[in-house]
Amino acid sequence: MFESNNSSGGRSLFRDDDSLLTNPITWAIAAVVVLGAGAAYYYTHKSDKKEVTPAVVEQPKPAAPVAAEEPAIKNPIPTLPPEADKDNEPLPTLNESDPVVASRLDRVIGNANVAQFLVPESVVRHVVVTVDNLPRKKVAVERRPIKATPGLAAVTSAGDATTLSDANYARYEPFIKLVQNTDSAKLTEFYFHFYPLFQQAYEDLGYPNAYFNDRVIEVIDHLLATPDVRGPIALTQPKVFYEFADPKLENRSEGQKLLIRMGPQNAAALKKKLRDIRAQIVGRA
């Protein structure tokens, strides 16, 4: 939740926390996590049982039952030889990965940004939870990988009408600039290097037979499907929190609503970055 400025002098709360997607470290990590690749292994089950028929009286063999198979991976990452990893550093355990992940992330977005915005505890696990939640109706704010965005969201009131102010969009411009300037190739290398930890965290989240990168593809495509909303966005305040007055907007996922609150230009810039990264990862695969 976060407080928001109201031009009529009042203060109120939004239900969602924009820091989940609009903070530069979030989008640097999200761009890594929303890379769109896949796990490097398959789970399959096969049945070797055959129907036994009499030796003398030949009868038609019934069709053998098809054994249930785990869903095959849809978006595999390339299997890289050790020399392809420039550092070729062994991975830490998931529970001991925070210092190593933060250090490696320094090289991608800069030490100052990591220190200012990153929540240094359980980074990989919190990234996985946040990504998995974005297409849902609620995001686990308490498990976000980044610190809360400073400042208040801006709304404008005129009589009984309340709209999201254009001044709110301006809050995100520095973050958008950082995302645009982030090197997609370095993000890709970061993600590939630490992918086993992301996969382990996803399995620990309750998906032992699923592939995190398949979920990543679903999430990035879901975010790219966010409608471009132009013109004043009407808000309502039925109780404590502001909500979109249009039920079609309010009923969208938390991830899409966060994009809408950034404003059309900022959302377009983020979508472009996500498309670029997705295309690069799919191309490498």
Q: What is the mean pLDDT of the chain?
A: 74
CB 259 within 8 A of CB 267: yes
Question: At residue 36, does pLDDT exceed 60?
Answer: no
> Which is higher by pLDDT, 38 or 187?
187
The pLDDT assigned to 90 comes to 85
Question: At residue 49, does pLDDT exceed 60?
Answer: no
H or E stretch including 258?
Answer: helix 254-262
Residue with tokens 């529970």: 95
Question: At residue 121, does pLDDT exceed 50?
Answer: yes
Report the candidate in 214, 273, 196, 258 with the shortest Cα–Cα distance to residue 75: 214
Q: Across residues 104-121, what is the average pLDDT?
A: 71
The pLDDT assigned to 25 comes to 39
Question: At residue 42, does pLDDT exceed 80?
Answer: no
Distance CA 42, CA 73 (A): 6
Report the candidate in 226, 232, 273 with the shortest Cα–Cα distance to residue 26: 273
DSSP 146: B
Distance CA 211, CA 199 (A): 7
CB 154 within 8 A of CB 65: no
pLDDT band at 131 (very low <50, low <70, confident <90, very high): very high
The pLDDT assigned to 202 comes to 96
**Residues 6 or more apart in contact with residue 231 via CB below 8 angstroms:** none
> Which is higher by pLDDT, 66 or 137?
137
CB 280 within 8 A of CB 184: yes
pLDDT band at 134 (very low <50, low <70, confident <90, very high): very high
